[in-house]
Structure 1
Amino acid sequence: MDGPEADGASIWDAAHRRTTIGLLTLVTLVAFEAMAVGTAMPRAVAELDGVAWYAWTFSAFLVTSVVGMVVGGEVGDRRPPGPGVLAGVLVFAAGLVVAGVAQHMAVLVLGRAVQGLGAGVVIVLLYVVAGRSYSSRLRPRLFGAFAAGWVLPALVGPLAAGLVTTHVGWRAVFLGLVPLVAAGLALLLTAGPGRAPGGEAAPRGRGRAAWAVLAGTGIAALQYAAQRLDLAAVVIALAGAAGLAVALRRLLPSGTVRARAGIPAVVASRGLLAGAFFGMDALLPFVLTEQHGWSAATAGLPLTAGAVGWVVAAQLQGRRPDVPRQRVLRLGCLVLAAGLAATAATAVPALGGWPAYLSWAVAGVGMGLGMPSVGVLLLDQSPEAERGANSAALQISDVTASALCVGLAGVLVAGAAEGRGPLWPAVLAAVAGLTVPALLGARVAGRTVAPARASGSVVRD
């Protein structure tokens, strides 16, 4: 469905409605689970007496999700996406059940690992479905809806999970999603999501799943190292960085680091956007509580402002499919950089942290403009037989850059938080460091469309 479409075509018309609802249901539920688990996990840890396992519930999901992304990319490029989506959702649902019935923390960690594998497969294949079932003109609006599907759970997920955990139990946070996931899957599969690939799949190097395991392990090692302030952290960080660098050379398009024109620059843009935003998104509540004495509940409200800005901007960009996406991406990066820079005002004790509401709403607007544009650019330039691998690379870039920037921000403020100096210089350093990727994204945006619309295969020999 990449050709011209009839007047009045919409992601909600009769030809697309069931597919759209199915896609958004699955996106929203995967996102809700990601947001809700952090709220339910403290109660689960207390009940299962597994404090020592706490970090593994998140690291296991992260490592296996990277593997799932690679597997999803391979599946999406070799066969119709329907069976792959079915398998991914069933694996994700199995992980929910395992976690929900766990009687020991080791079983809960196993459930989280199974969830991550399924979630990685599903997220990549949903991009493949989007590429096959929607024309280029409809994709901006579809990705705007995707943004709402990811961001809205950030508004209600923690609160809803908290209520369920308090009044029903933490197990219901996992088990209650299973029937909803099944409903979304039924809608998507009965809609007939796209045709079979139109050509031979590009040749693939062997052992990509192994490289994905190495990449996920490297990311987890860096996150763990960022939580420590000792000599062991340095060793762990160096080992993780080395493994990650080697793996990414096999998993990302050649030229991604240099932002070579076309798909490599698109993949690089996704990482720059995600790293800049989520690095500060993770740091901001900490700054508001430590620097200004806000309560935990109040400190999360600026993040809600950012989520609202993201959703609103994502819907607005979808209404202008005629505007070149690289221009919208550049504008999004610049707006994000402005929001990040303005967030430096939270370091000023006299201001009480209140500028964070406005500055983070501006940053959210930048993400709402930029993130959907990256998805559209990727699908528009990816040959049908390479959309899976390129979508996997996009997701891996996002996860990797987010983890690295969150770790960087954590390292910068950790020393000050332990009484080694005032917090505000560390906050300013973090803001400055995270603004750089956003500005680089604005520069890279002009390279996201190759002159000859060349293929962006992630193949390695």
Structure 2
Amino acid sequence: MTTATAVPATAPLDLWSPRLRAMTVGIVALVSLLAFEALAVGTAMPTVARSLDGLGLYALAFGGPFASGVVAMVVSGIWCDARGPRPAMWHGVAWFVAGLAVAGAASTMGTLVVGRVVQGFGSGLLSVALYVIVGQAYPEQLRRRVFAAFAAAWVVPSLVGPAVAGLIVEHLGWRWVFLAVPAIAVPAVLLVQPGLRALAARVPTRPPAGALARIGWACGAGASAALLHHGGQQRGVLTAGLIGAALIGLLVCVPRLLPAGFLRAARGLPTVIGLRGLASAAFVGAEVVIPLMLSRERGFSPTGAGLVLTVGALSWSVGSWIQGRIPAPRSAASLPRAGLACIAVGTAGVTLALLPGVPVAPAVLAWSVAGLGMGLLYPSLSVLTLELSAPAEQGRNSSALQLGDSLAAATVLALTGAVLAAGSSPGPASYASTLAVAAGCGLLGLVLAGRVVPRPAD
């Protein structure tokens, strides 16, 4: 279903026109902050755990915010559809900043985990609200460029975030990794506010029937995701038990949070959501293996392996830039097909690094192809989600898109961790099997890509 939005008929055709300039800067800055914090915390957390004597809660410091973020995505979707994106955005920033403040001031690891959970809840609220803002504030012909800007907003943090975080930890102390971000978050959200006021006012409505049940299922999915994350950190029989229980929980809860027909790849939105999850699983499944594979099999230093991942991040940005500037394709399936083909070929090509007689360069080139595919795919699926959503369903469907993405990534990370830990030491067979699964996800998505186009009667 393609519907009109609140954008005026005379909407400008440039992201940097006077009416949209401040909003564009604000929302891209917020995405950059979410990206920086997600990447910087991983660098700082070992020091945090040692400082607070909290190694026992180390995994929970990552699993907790992920679980609260899952719940917040569902809450934000319901809230945006009933009240518009402004309340969810403001509350998202408030929770995000409050969580950072609690974590930065924590004197115990338990307090820091509480702060991380609050921060994760704010991130979930904010991420969905930003998608709804794009749907309501930007004309359809600009949305691919907005989502390309979102992708670019992740590139700089991915390149410099860990290094900057390391410098902050060494010279200012780990607390400033948390405490410095609010100084930018608040001005960024203030830039967005005037543009939101200019949108057509939405009459507040009551949440739809079943909203409370959806939040309950989201709590179940969040708890299962946290258990999955925890299980992936364990070893032996315990790993299989925890991951099995978590997967059962996800299979029970997640279908109730995603569009009907998701599991059978029904045409239209269900397939759009499914393709996003498959792409995320493929890329993350390969990304987590590459540094370990290159260091163990090819003798790469951590810096050298990290630079290979950087190649993928840069090509992702290039792909996003390309899809934002090419003319609209005849078929909505064209960009998803191209992106998934690149992901399947690229992740499969990374296995060339396992062949001793083959230089590493072809595998690096293959990884850049996978990144290019993600850049072509992600923004196009985000745009399709908004196009296939009625205005009163943009929050729910944006929430579903990000839920599928996050949960697919969490699942493949846990399963990959279990595969790599199954033997006494990971070897070529382990790496090849995980890369084969990644390529298989991309190939399955390629087969299903034509189903993003709804039937005329849908």
**Shorter-chain TM-score range:** over 0.9
For each residue in 1:326-353, what CA deviation from the matched residue of structure 2 results, as whole angstroms up to 9, or x when unmatched? Answer: 2111100001111101101122234464
Name stretches of at least 5 consecutive residues in structure 2 with no aligned partner: none
Q: How many residue pairs align between the two structures?
A: 451
1:100 counterpart = 2:107: no
The 3 A distance-change label for structure 1 pair 127 and 321 is farther
- Residue 459 of structure 1 corresponds to none
Instruction: Give 1:225 deviation, angstroms.
Output: 2.1
1:328 counterpart = 2:332: no
- Residue 155 of structure 1 corresponds to 159
Q: Quick one: which of 262, 265, 276 aligns to 1:270?
A: 276
- For 1:349 and 1:4, the matched residues in 2 are separated by 59
- For 2:81 and 2:8, the matched residues in 1 are separated by 24
- For 1:32 and 1:66, the matched residues in 2 are separated by 19
Instruction: Give 1:197 deviation, angstroms.
Output: 4.2
Greater CA drift, 295-304 or 222-231? 222-231
- For 1:439 and 1:16, the matched residues in 2 are separated by 38
The 3 A distance-change label for structure 1 pair 5 and 363 is farther
1:302 counterpart = 2:308: yes
2:119 counterpart SS class: helix
Greater CA drift, 271-280 or 315-324? 315-324
- Residue 419 of structure 2 corresponds to 412
The 3 A distance-change label for structure 1 pair 351 and 392 is same
- For 1:301 and 1:169, the matched residues in 2 are separated by 26
Instruction: Give 1:210 deviation, angstroms.
Output: 2.1
Contact 2:36 2:161 in 1 (8 A): yes
Contact 2:255 2:263 in 1 (8 A): no
Contact 1:198 1:384 in 2 (8 A): no
Taking the TM superposition and a 5 Å limit, the aligned residue runs for 1:426-441 are: 426-441=430-445
1:341 counterpart = 2:345: no
Q: Quick one: which of 11, 34, 38 aligns to 2:38?
A: 34
- For 2:215 and 2:59, the matched residues in 1 are separated by 23
Contact 1:325 1:376 in 2 (8 A): no
- Residue 72 of structure 2 corresponds to 68
Q: Quick one: which of 156, 181, 184 aligns to 1:180?
A: 184
1:252 counterpart = 2:275: no
Q: Quick one: which of 282, 287, 290 aligns to 1:281?
A: 287
- For 2:62 and 2:161, the matched residues in 1 are separated by 17
Partner amino acid, structure 1, of 2:90: L
Taking the TM superposition and a 5 Å limit, the aligned residue runs for 1:61-210 are: 61-192=65-196, 194-197=199-202, 202-210=208-216
Give the TM-score normalised by structure 1: 0.94
- For 1:453 and 1:199, the matched residues in 2 are separated by 30
- For 2:194 and 2:19, the matched residues in 1 are separated by 12
Instruction: Give 1:263 deviation, angstroms.
Output: 0.9
For each residue in 1:169-207, what CA deviation from the matched residue of structure 2 results, as whole angstroms up to 9, or x when unmatched? Answer: 111111000110001110011222633447966543432
Instruction: Give 1:354 deviation, angstroms.
Output: 4.2
- For 2:327 and 2:418, the matched residues in 1 are separated by 41
Greater CA drift, 213-222 or 64-73? 213-222
- For 2:170 and 2:434, the matched residues in 1 are separated by 36
For each residue in 1:265-304, what CA deviation from the matched residue of structure 2 results, as whole angstroms up to 9, or x when unmatched? Answer: 1111110111100111111111112222222222111110
% identity of equivalent residues: 40
The 3 A distance-change label for structure 1 pair 423 and 322 is same
- For 2:76 and 2:30, the matched residues in 1 are separated by 15
Partner amino acid, structure 2, of 1:58: F
Greater CA drift, 350-359 or 16-25? 350-359
- Residue 458 of structure 1 corresponds to none
The 3 A distance-change label for structure 1 pair 182 and 278 is same
- For 1:351 and 1:4, the matched residues in 2 are separated by 56
The 3 A distance-change label for structure 1 pair 203 and 343 is same
Taking the TM superposition and a 5 Å limit, the aligned residue runs for 1:18-33 are: 18-33=22-37
Q: CA RMSD in A?
A: 1.9
